[in-house]
Amino acid sequence: MSHAIYQTDAVILKTKNMRESNKLIVLYTQKFGLIYCSLQSVRELKSKMRFHTNLYSLVTVDLVQGRDIWRVTGIHENTSSLSFTESHWFSILAKFSSLINRLCSGEEPHEEIWQNIEYLFDHYDQITENNTEFIEIIFTIRILSSLGYWEGNEPFLESIEYFNNVFFMFITKNKKKLIAKINQRLSDTQL
């Protein structure tokens, strides 16, 4: 019996070693949303996939759907997290992955969430110490809005762009209110 192989772009949100040489990874994918996958024998020295399973890397994966869990049959790194471990982008990704793990449930794709992830990976070299907080606020509000937890008319909800001085000035002016509203919405989700 043959199984369909699906190929999709994904970001690795979480990894966990299993048994002697297997690995469980949590992916946020373009086509399927949040999924759990197993990689068989990936930690063995002969495995070619072991170098492409770095946390927070942007990858293209080949998947087969199992009864309980997806299985990764191939993985190709598009943007390795090793290239930005010392940058501000790495710490932002840790927060983003935690937020996505918390709010997204099941296999349900959200094109808006994926567009935000992809945009930030394409522009991660523009993230500096000065704009890190702005990026975090914009991303969090956009995720909450995409999932139906946010109502508002903030100027950055209409555009995929992040690095805009108008957005940064708006956040500077309304920072306390925005953070209080974010915290309230996260509390309201009960997740």
The tens-digit pLDDT sequence of the chain (191 residues) is 567 899 999 999 998 888 888 788 899 999 999 999 988 776 766 666 666 788 899 999 999 998 888 988 888 999 888 888 888 888 889 999 999 999 998 788 899 999 999 999 999 889 888 999 999 999 999 999 999 999 988 999 988 899 999 999 999 999 999 999 999 999 988 87
| Predicted pLDDT at 10 | 96
Q: What value does the CA radius of gyration of the chain take, rounded to a whole number of Å?
A: 18
pTM of the model: 0.89
Q: Which pLDDT belongs to residue 22? A: 78
d(CA 76, CA 43): 16
Query: What pLDDT sits at residue 20?
Result: 83
Output helix, strand, coil percentages for the chain, rounded to the nearest 5.
40, 25, 35
Pairing of strands 22-29, 5-18: antiparallel
pLDDT for 84 equals 81
Domain ranges of the chain: 5-81, 83-189
Q: What kind of architecture, by CATH, is found in domain 5-81?
A: Beta Barrel (2.40)
Which among 122, 121, 167 has a CA at the least distance from the CA of 141?
Answer: 167
